[in-house]
Amino acid sequence: MVQQLKKSLLDVIQKSISIEYSAYFTYRQAGHWFDKHHLPGTSSFCFRQAEGEFSHAKSLEEYVMKRGDLVILNQPNINQTLVTDIWRTNQEVFHHLFQLEQENYKLYEENSKIARQEEDEVTLRLFTDILDQQLTELQEFEVIMSKVKAYSAVPGLFYHLDHELRKA
Ligand SMILES: [Fe+2]
Protein backbone atom coordinates (compact mmCIF):
# COMPACT_ATOMS: atom_id res chain seq x y z
CA MET A 1 0.00 0.00 0.00
CA VAL A 2 1.49 3.30 -1.08
CA GLN A 3 1.55 5.88 1.62
CA GLN A 4 -0.12 9.07 0.46
CA LEU A 5 1.80 12.30 0.50
CA LYS A 6 1.39 14.68 3.39
CA LYS A 7 -0.56 17.76 2.44
CA SER A 8 2.46 20.03 3.02
CA LEU A 9 4.53 18.03 0.54
CA LEU A 10 1.76 17.70 -2.00
CA ASP A 11 1.39 21.49 -1.90
CA VAL A 12 5.13 21.96 -2.36
CA ILE A 13 5.17 19.60 -5.37
CA GLN A 14 2.13 21.21 -6.99
CA LYS A 15 3.77 24.62 -6.60
CA SER A 16 7.00 23.27 -8.10
CA ILE A 17 5.12 21.80 -11.08
CA SER A 18 3.71 25.22 -11.83
CA ILE A 19 7.14 26.85 -11.48
CA GLU A 20 8.62 24.29 -13.89
CA TYR A 21 5.89 24.98 -16.45
CA SER A 22 6.44 28.72 -15.99
CA ALA A 23 10.16 28.16 -16.67
CA TYR A 24 9.20 26.10 -19.74
CA PHE A 25 7.25 29.06 -21.15
CA THR A 26 9.96 31.57 -20.21
CA TYR A 27 12.54 29.53 -22.15
CA ARG A 28 10.16 29.13 -25.09
CA GLN A 29 9.66 32.90 -25.06
CA ALA A 30 13.42 33.50 -24.91
CA GLY A 31 13.83 31.07 -27.83
CA HIS A 32 11.43 33.16 -29.87
CA TRP A 33 13.16 36.37 -28.78
CA PHE A 34 16.55 35.13 -30.00
CA ASP A 35 15.05 33.76 -33.21
CA LYS A 36 13.62 37.19 -33.97
CA HIS A 37 17.06 38.68 -33.24
CA HIS A 38 18.72 36.40 -35.81
CA LEU A 39 20.50 34.18 -33.30
CA PRO A 40 19.28 30.69 -34.28
CA GLY A 41 21.85 28.83 -32.14
CA THR A 42 20.89 30.72 -29.00
CA SER A 43 17.26 30.22 -29.89
CA SER A 44 17.73 26.44 -30.19
CA PHE A 45 19.62 26.45 -26.87
CA CYS A 46 16.58 28.06 -25.20
CA PHE A 47 14.18 25.60 -26.81
CA ARG A 48 16.35 22.73 -25.53
CA GLN A 49 16.35 24.23 -22.05
CA ALA A 50 12.56 24.52 -22.27
CA GLU A 51 12.32 20.77 -22.91
CA GLY A 52 14.37 20.20 -19.74
CA GLU A 53 11.92 22.22 -17.66
CA PHE A 54 9.02 20.38 -19.29
CA SER A 55 10.50 17.04 -18.32
CA HIS A 56 11.01 18.23 -14.72
CA ALA A 57 7.32 19.15 -14.55
CA LYS A 58 6.33 15.79 -15.98
CA SER A 59 8.48 13.80 -13.58
CA LEU A 60 6.95 15.68 -10.64
CA GLU A 61 3.48 14.90 -11.99
CA GLU A 62 4.39 11.24 -12.40
CA TYR A 63 5.69 11.16 -8.84
CA VAL A 64 2.39 12.48 -7.46
CA MET A 65 0.53 9.85 -9.49
CA LYS A 66 2.80 7.14 -8.17
CA ARG A 67 2.00 8.23 -4.66
CA GLY A 68 -1.69 7.85 -5.45
CA ASP A 69 -2.58 11.53 -5.31
CA LEU A 70 -4.40 13.82 -7.68
CA VAL A 71 -2.39 16.37 -9.63
CA ILE A 72 -4.15 19.71 -9.78
CA LEU A 73 -2.42 21.92 -12.31
CA ASN A 74 -2.11 25.62 -11.72
CA GLN A 75 -1.95 28.19 -14.44
CA PRO A 76 1.72 28.88 -15.23
CA ASN A 77 2.98 32.39 -14.89
CA ILE A 78 3.55 33.90 -18.34
CA ASN A 79 5.01 37.37 -18.14
CA GLN A 80 4.37 39.10 -21.45
CA THR A 81 6.11 42.29 -20.32
CA LEU A 82 9.40 40.39 -20.65
CA VAL A 83 9.22 40.77 -24.41
CA THR A 84 7.54 44.15 -24.50
CA ASP A 85 9.45 46.02 -21.77
CA ILE A 86 12.16 44.05 -20.03
CA TRP A 87 14.29 42.15 -22.54
CA ARG A 88 16.23 44.65 -24.60
CA THR A 89 19.64 43.07 -25.03
CA ASN A 90 21.05 39.53 -25.25
CA GLN A 91 22.67 40.08 -21.88
CA GLU A 92 19.38 41.07 -20.27
CA VAL A 93 17.67 37.92 -21.49
CA PHE A 94 20.51 35.72 -20.27
CA HIS A 95 20.59 37.53 -16.96
CA HIS A 96 16.91 36.78 -16.54
CA LEU A 97 17.35 33.09 -17.41
CA PHE A 98 20.32 32.74 -15.08
CA GLN A 99 18.28 34.25 -12.26
CA LEU A 100 15.50 31.81 -13.00
CA GLU A 101 17.95 28.89 -12.69
CA GLN A 102 19.26 30.27 -9.39
CA GLU A 103 15.74 30.62 -8.02
CA ASN A 104 14.98 27.04 -9.06
CA TYR A 105 18.03 25.84 -7.19
CA LYS A 106 16.82 27.64 -4.06
CA LEU A 107 13.35 26.20 -4.56
CA TYR A 108 14.58 22.61 -4.41
CA GLU A 109 16.87 23.42 -1.51
CA GLU A 110 13.79 24.65 0.35
CA ASN A 111 11.73 21.66 -0.83
CA SER A 112 14.39 19.26 0.45
CA LYS A 113 14.27 20.92 3.86
CA ILE A 114 10.52 20.43 4.05
CA ALA A 115 10.76 16.77 3.00
CA ARG A 116 13.41 16.24 5.69
CA GLN A 117 11.19 17.87 8.32
CA GLU A 118 8.28 15.69 7.25
CA GLU A 119 10.55 12.64 7.33
CA ASP A 120 9.54 11.57 3.85
CA GLU A 121 12.68 9.84 2.57
CA VAL A 122 11.35 9.07 -0.90
CA THR A 123 10.25 12.63 -1.60
CA LEU A 124 13.54 13.86 -0.17
CA ARG A 125 15.38 11.70 -2.70
CA LEU A 126 13.25 13.10 -5.53
CA PHE A 127 14.12 16.65 -4.50
CA THR A 128 17.82 16.01 -3.96
CA ASP A 129 18.04 14.34 -7.40
CA ILE A 130 16.55 17.44 -9.00
CA LEU A 131 18.77 19.65 -6.83
CA ASP A 132 21.79 17.74 -8.09
CA GLN A 133 20.76 18.24 -11.74
CA GLN A 134 20.06 21.88 -11.02
CA LEU A 135 23.56 22.32 -9.62
CA THR A 136 25.12 20.95 -12.81
CA GLU A 137 22.81 23.22 -14.77
CA LEU A 138 23.95 26.23 -12.77
CA GLN A 139 27.62 25.44 -13.25
CA GLU A 140 27.16 25.16 -17.02
CA PHE A 141 25.16 28.36 -17.01
CA GLU A 142 27.90 30.23 -15.17
CA VAL A 143 30.32 29.39 -17.97
CA ILE A 144 27.80 30.57 -20.54
CA MET A 145 27.22 33.77 -18.56
CA SER A 146 30.90 34.68 -18.58
CA LYS A 147 30.94 34.14 -22.35
CA VAL A 148 27.78 36.21 -22.76
CA LYS A 149 29.52 39.04 -20.94
CA ALA A 150 32.78 38.77 -22.88
CA TYR A 151 31.11 38.29 -26.28
CA SER A 152 28.76 41.21 -25.73
CA ALA A 153 31.67 43.62 -25.30
CA VAL A 154 32.45 43.71 -29.01
CA PRO A 155 29.65 44.00 -31.59
CA GLY A 156 29.45 40.93 -33.79
CA LEU A 157 31.26 38.61 -31.41
CA PHE A 158 28.00 37.24 -30.08
CA TYR A 159 27.65 35.24 -33.30
CA HIS A 160 30.49 33.01 -32.08
CA LEU A 161 28.57 32.19 -28.95
CA ASP A 162 25.47 31.67 -31.05
CA HIS A 163 27.38 29.09 -33.09
CA GLU A 164 28.63 27.36 -29.93
CA LEU A 165 25.18 27.21 -28.41
CA ARG A 166 23.75 25.61 -31.52
CA LYS A 167 25.59 22.39 -30.83
CA ALA A 168 26.03 22.58 -27.06
FE1 LIG B 1 13.62 22.76 -14.03
Please give the distance, rounded to the nearest whole angstrom, from the Cα atom of residue 23 to the centre of ligand 1: 7
Give residue-wise pLDDT tens across range 17-57: 999 999 999 999 999 999 999 999 999 999 999 999 999 99
CATH of the domain at 79: 1.20.1260.10
| Residue 1 belongs to some domain of the structure | no
Rounded to the nearest angstrom, the distance between the alpha carbon of 37 and the centre of ligand 1 is: 25
Does residue 161 lie in a domain region?
A: no
Ligand 1 geometric centre to CA of 101 (Å): 8
Residue 164 alpha carbon to ligand 1 centre in Å? 22
Q: What is the pLDDT of residues 73-114, one digit of tens each?
A: 999 999 999 998 999 999 999 999 999 999 999 999 999 999
Distance 149 CA to ligand 1 centre (A): 24
Q: Is residue 77 part of a domain?
A: yes
167 found inside a domain: no
Q: Are 127 and 68 in contact (CB under 8 A)?
A: no
Q: What is the pLDDT of residue 168?
A: 67
**For residue 133, how far is its CA from the centre of ligand 1 (angstroms)?**
9
pTM metric for this prediction: 0.94
CA of 154 to the centre of ligand 1 (A): 32
Total number of domains in the chain: 1
CB-based contact 23:15 (threshold 8 Å): no
Tell me the residue range of the domain where 136 lies.
7-153
The reported pLDDT for the residue numbered 153 is 86
Q: Is residue 109, in this structure, part of any structural domain at all?
A: yes
